Chains A and B, each alone.
Chain A
Amino acid sequence: GAVVSQHPSWVICKSGTSVKIECRSLDFQATTMFWYRQFPKQSLMLMATSNEGSKATYEQGVEKDKFLINHASLTLSTLTVTSAHPEDSSFYICSARDRGGIGSAFFGQGTRLTVV
């Protein structure tokens, strides 16, 4: 299957600082990538849809100024958590679908963010 790489796998940062998470599609081009957030023992909640060359589409209740998304190329999307607070601590996962967006969705490895 298609490969999606996410980096870093985990990060610990101080409250008030910003953290950037990268999501790359390694063997296919992804015009669209998705960012999810998952709290312990809960489902994956879609945060935003990242569109190459245009603005991201955010789900209701997700602050776009806090979770900055940039999709500068067909293989890279980044999520920056700005002015992080302890309540932002979570597991963040990106995904992308191959075959022009109609195939299966593949996930990156996820990033465990801990804000102290």
Chain B
Amino acid sequence: QQPVQSPQAVILREGEDAVINCSSSKALYSVHWYRQKHGEAPVFLMILLKGGEQKGHEKISASFNEKKQQSSLYLTASQLSYSGTYFCGTQSQYSGAGSYQLTFGKGTKLSVIP
């Protein structure tokens, strides 16, 4: 099942904050966040595995709720370089060695303006 991302698009001025949400109707094994710039492949940001987990790097962080059905990506003090489309990719279960395909949300287009 495709996760639901919100908002679909957001415009920020440099220095402003944003939150992007990713929700699933069922508990997830993991959530992966990516940023994709126009014409390029997605770039990995972070992975969350544990309920209640929060992690981040510098001004981009993410959380995974206790029920493991929702994740949020937090961008603080946004920079022009943050512009792009953000996707969450979810894995519904751990099925042992082999295939672990991710299902991606529709994406959130973030535009940071001066």
Contacts and interface: CB of A to CB of B under 8 A. Distances in A.
A75 interface: no
Interface in A27-58: 31-32, 34, 42-44, 46, 49, 51, 57
A1 interface: yes
Interface of B: 2, 32, 34, 39-44, 47, 87, 89, 94, 97-107
Given A34-B101, A49-B101, A42 B106 contact: yes
Count chain B CB atoms within 10 A of each CB in A1, A46, A97 and give the residue with the most. Answer: A97
Contacts of B97: 31, 100-101
B40 A97 contact: no
B41 to A, nearest CB: 4
Contact of B105 (A43, A97, A108, A110): A43
A15 B1 CA distance: 34
A68 to B, nearest CB: 19
B98 A44 contact: no
Contacts of B42: 44, 93, 107
Given A46-B101, A51-B98, 10 more contacts: A34-B102, A43-B2, A46-B103, A49-B101, A57-B99, A102-B94, A104-B44, A105-B89, A109-B41, A112-B39
A82 to B, nearest CB: 23
Contact of A102 (B2, B100, B107): B100
Nearest 8 interchain pairs by C-beta: A110-B41, A107-B41, A44-B104, A32-B99, A43-B106, A49-B99, A104-B47, A43-B104
Count chain A CB atoms within 10 A of each CB in B34, B47, B100, B103 and give the residue with the most. Answer: B100
Contact of B41 (A32, A42, A93): A93
B90 to A, nearest CB: 11
A92 B106 CA distance: 17
Contacts of B107: 42-43
